[in-house]
Structure 1
Amino acid sequence: MNDFTDKNVLVLGGSRGIGAAIVRRLAAGGGQVAFTYAGSQQAAEDLAHETGATPIRTDSADRSELLATVAGRGALDVLVVAAGALVMGDPLGIAADAVDHMIDVNVRAPYHAAIEAARRMNADGRIIVIGSVNGDRMPFAGGAAYALTKSAVQGMVRGLARDLGARGITVNAIQPGPTDSDMNPADGPMAETMHGFMAIKRHARPSEIAELTAYIAGPHAAMITGSMQTIDGGFGA
């Protein structure tokens, strides 16, 4: 188990799904973990009680609110951006406001949070964004806008890795494939179709994504930066 004792950790979007699994994993490793939530107050309170982590109500689509939360945590050792939005469907019928909100959460929020964290982040810090294999591959119709946001994360990670490398700060994306969560349940209507694209024909468990996150956040990953760490059961192979 990677040791995060006394590490100052912030997980954006940590009350449910992959984010909650990451909170559990880093708190179990001894991290001083805070996490944000938007609408899932009861889930956030339950997770805080379970792990000892600190919940902070924050809307990632509100830039000033987001920046205040990041700045308020002081000198971070680890920032994980797990907050995400998903809008799929016929692009001719999707509301423009829904697409813009997804871009706010999936693109603008990770960028601005990373920059704000970097202003005071400790040397050898870690910035990790939960992206998606759909940044590499979109094998079915209806996902253009979502894929756009996840491809944008890739460019951001590559650029910030160079900008922050002199301080030993690494910047990486973790790209899950289908993962069992409220957003994409393992027994959902698209499960069979998604499994058809995969070599390992099941959804990932959030805990599996959290274990990879813990490795990238830990000391053994000091030379991994600007990378897309894909964990997708062969979805994109």
Structure 2
Amino acid sequence: MHVLILGGTTEARRLAEQLHATTQVTSSLAGRVAAPRLPPGEVRVGGFGGAEGLAQWLREHDVDALIDATHPFAGTISFHAASAAAEAHVPLLALRRPGWVAAEGDDWHPVASLQEAADLLPGLGRRVFLTTGRMGLAAFAHLGEPWFLVRSVDAPEPPYPPRMEVLLDRGPFTLDGERRLLRRHRVDVVVTKDSGGAATAPKLTAAREAAVPVIVIQRPPVPAGVPVAASPDEAAAWLAQFSG
């Protein structure tokens, strides 16, 4: 059985680790991170050339099942995967870690996009901890007044906000570390995507403790009709129905 995992997430890597001993696994990475943590099995880096290119790849490599385990905000590739899977007649599953849930004391402000977050931001704070990744900074580039602390794995490229400090780091992050970061930089508002998972969740607890508001960008929807698994174990159980 040949499984193609559209990866780049912790869940994708863990699923590849579970499967590679008994299954032919190919993991596809977008190539946006300079030094990604590679999963076991075969790895390809780069795009497919849209939905048609992905469908052709599925057919040429005799793929039996496709797992979309990309980042919850990598919306374009998810819709390409749905189109390609339908065209190539390959079963498709979306592997998505559960989103975060607000707790008592949280001051969350949900928005639908980076642009909405940028519009809301000036009314909430002036010292911003921005954890939306380096690819979305253009949405905040026109804001000249707030100061931004931007945390990302790789250095961002312009356009980005004029008053900005970059912190290159990769999770998981600790609660004590996030508490110190908010205090040291006098952060008064946090902007994040609802990525879910435990690796970056401590910033939300630290913000709650410090009574710091959090702008939470909501996830784009999974394509209609695509089944969803919440964990690598659930994905492996879904795959088992095709292994006989």
Q: Calculate the TM-score normalised by the size of structure 2.
A: 0.45
Q: Give the greater-gyration-radius structure (CA).
A: 2
- Structure with bigger helix share is 1
Structure with the higher fraction of residues in strand conformation: 2
